[in-house]
Amino acid sequence: MIIERSSEWKEGFISRLENQEPWDNWTLYKMSYEAVKNNLITDFSGLQSPKYLPNLTPLAHQLEVAETVISRMNGKAILADEVGLGKTIEAGLILKEYLIRGLVKKVLILAPASLINQWVEELNYKFYIPAIAYRKNTSIDYYDVVVMSMDTAKKSPHKELIYAQNYDMIIIDEAHKLKNHKTKIYEFVQGLKKKFCLLLTATPIQNNVFELFYLISLLKPGHLGSYETFQSSFSASKHSLEHDEYLRELVNQVMVRNRREETGIEWTSRRVQTIPIEFTKEEREVYDLILELKNVSSVFSGAFSMITLQKEMCSSKEATYLTLNKMRQNCTAQEEIAFVDHIIQKLMTLEINSKAEKVYEIISQANDKVIIFTEYKASQVYLQWYLNSKGITSVPFNGQFNKSKREYMKHLFKEKFQVLIATESGGEGINLQFCHHVINYDLPWNPMKLEQRIGRVHRLGQEHDVHIYNLAIENTIEKDILDLLYVKLDVFEKVVGELDDILTTFKKTI
């Protein structure tokens, strides 16, 4: 066994014996001994951190997570609580514990750029951990706890600087961004030494079970076997899982997950409705013409562009027009152009947007604040105009807004306007507990995006039931999306665990 000794005290003692320095104060000597005795960590297990944090009152499930990760998972884990249960607090508790016990000194925290300041503030003010945000010329040799964006970290020269450090602990927030093993960020994290490592994500599976495989292989390579063995034992096709129980057990050895209803906190409930909508005859005509496009022109033969157009047609004519017009530039043959022009002409004469009318109906009935999520900026603008014409005030919300504009828009929504219309990227990191109605105007392919959207509203501090309206147009691609969402949710529930309602009557459709 390795025994380390420090000779510091001995040197001081010798210099006093040789009369080079005066002897120290007896009272301070006794105080020092008493302080060490009182602060002694007498047990390998148990948490020291709470007594160092008298101003923080962690919830029971948060303490339990910290203890489990340290004593059962040896400090390497995925923290996968549902959105809004305080994963940052859990990570803070674990980090604090390791710092107090002297097991960790240098720490790297990777987070999306928009959450960096929040991390720095929470660590400093709630946990008394002197974390700093990394800027271009920060010399990381001198700082023990550094918070950095993933996008910065994976690039030179930052990447090389990080590799040259000897980090004891790596914390990665929104770790589902590592689901793809072919990305630069994945490769970067793979190359980091991970003595202790926490991956934070509410949505460890977004599309398929391999995402979880790659996430776990990053944390603990081999825990789920090699890629080949995993593939052969767990997936005949991507979505059907045979050894559910076994896989779930393996996953639970490296992942902790709390659900809202298990936390012992009173949660308001979610009331989810899927609202089917019928196109008008005119809308249906345009939709069918768009389907016809792939037979008319090779420009539209790509599956991706066809899907985009169909989805846009389910959203608004404005969104459809932008894409269609752009693709028209690529057409060369006269009859192709004529066909596209014909569609555009029909499109522009449409006077009714059935989905928007449904939105108006929902807002009128709710008679309360409402958030609308759409995938398209053009639809966002259209909806704002349309609602305004009906006498309903609204504010837009996008990911590109800087911090002060975000805050201002949130303020306007809270104090003055009835509706907030957000695009997908605007969803991350805003908390809107004062609102209780969420309309998913367009459906994303990824069910976890829906969960993230709902999580903006249904989180700690929400006092009312939350109403969720998923809009889907009958006999269109939206029906396929809905089916696929159900399948993906099923995979998630089998491997990761139960989820709060996102879609209606989920169980029955499987």
Partner 1 sequence: MYPQQVHDYLQKFFKENNCEIVHGNEHYMTVQLTVDMDKKIMNRPFHWQYIENTNGVPDPAQLTLITDQTKISKNMKGEVVHFGSPRLSQIFHTTRELGACVQMYERILNNMETRPILTPWLGVNYKVSYYCDRTKEMLYSLGINLMTGEVINGFQESITTKELDDQKSERAFLLPFIIKPLRALERLDAVIENLIQQEDHAWAEEAKSRWQKDQAILEHFYEEVEEKPECYEMEKKAMAEQYEAKIKIDIINGGLFYMK
CA dihedral 291, 296, 302, 303 (to 10 degrees): 20
- Residue 91 belongs to what H/E stretch? helix 87-100
Minimum CB distance to partner 1 smaller for 190 or for 207: 190
Q: What residues between 122 and 151 interact with partner 1 by CB under 8 A? A: 128, 130
Q: Which stretch binds partner 1 (CB under 8 A): 28-36, 241-249, 366-374, 418-426?
A: 28-36
Q: Which two tokens stand for residue 499?
A: 């989820």
Closest CA to 278 of 383, 360, 357: 357
Q: Are 331 and 324 in contact (CB under 8 A)?
A: no
The reply to whether 232 sits near partner 1 by the rule CB under 8 A is no
Minimum CB distance to partner 1 smaller for 101 or for 155: 101
d(CA 47, CA 59): 14
Least distance CB 38 / partner 1 (angstroms):
7
Q: Are 63 and 50 in contact (CB under 8 A)?
A: yes
d(CA 284, CA 264): 49
The reply to whether 302 sits near partner 1 by the rule CB under 8 A is no
| Radius of gyration for the alpha carbons in the chain, expressed in angstroms and rounded | 28
d(CA 66, CA 74): 11
Q: Which stretch binds partner 1 (CB under 8 A): 30-38, 348-356, 411-419, 483-491?
A: 30-38
Minimum CB distance to partner 1 smaller for 41 or for 333: 41
The reply to whether 304 sits near partner 1 by the rule CB under 8 A is no
Minimum CB distance to partner 1 smaller for 139 or for 295: 139
DSSP state of 444: -
Least distance CB 115 / partner 1 (angstroms):
24
The reply to whether 38 sits near partner 1 by the rule CB under 8 A is yes
Closest CA to 213 of 490, 509, 491, 477: 491
Q: What residues between 307 and 366 interact with partner 1 by CB under 8 A? A: none
Q: Which stretch binds partner 1 (CB under 8 A): 97-105, 140-148, 199-207, 411-419?
A: 97-105
Q: Which two tokens stand for residue 362?
A: 């929902």
Work out which of 36, 164, 303, 510 binds partner 1, going by CB under 8 A. Answer: 36
Least distance CB 71 / partner 1 (angstroms):
8
Q: Which long-range contacts (CB under 8 A, 24 or more apart) does 30-35 make?
A: none
**Under the rule (CB under 8 A), what is the footprint of partner 1?**
1-6, 8-10, 12-14, 16-17, 23-33, 35-45, 51-55, 70-71, 74-75, 101-103, 128, 130, 168, 190-196, 217, 220-223, 225-226
